[in-house]
Amino acid sequence: VSRDGGDPPPGAAATAAAEVEAAHRGYYAAWEAGNLRAVADAWLEAEDVCCVFPGAEPHLGSDDVRRLVTEGVELTPGIQFLFEQVDVTVRGDVARLSCVENVVTADTFSLSDVTDLPATRMGVTSTFVRTPDGWRLWLHTVGPVITHLDLED
Positions touching its own copies (CB under 8 A) are 2-5, 46-48, 50, 52-58, 60-61, 71-72, 75, 85, 87, 89, 91-94, 96, 98-100, 114-117, 123-125, 127, 129, 138-139, 141, 143-146, 148-149, 151-152
Comparison of 35 and 125: residue with beta carbon closer to its own copies: 125
Torsion of CA 78, 41, 27, 141, to 10 degrees: 100
Comparison of 4 and 107: residue with beta carbon closer to its own copies: 4
Cβ(68)–Cβ(59) under 8 Å?
A: yes
Find the shortest distance in angstroms from Cβ 94 to its own copies: 4
With b for 16 or more beta-carbon neighbours within 10 A and e for fewer, the 90-102 pattern comes to: beeeebbbebebe
Find the shortest distance in angstroms from Cβ 93 to its own copies: 7
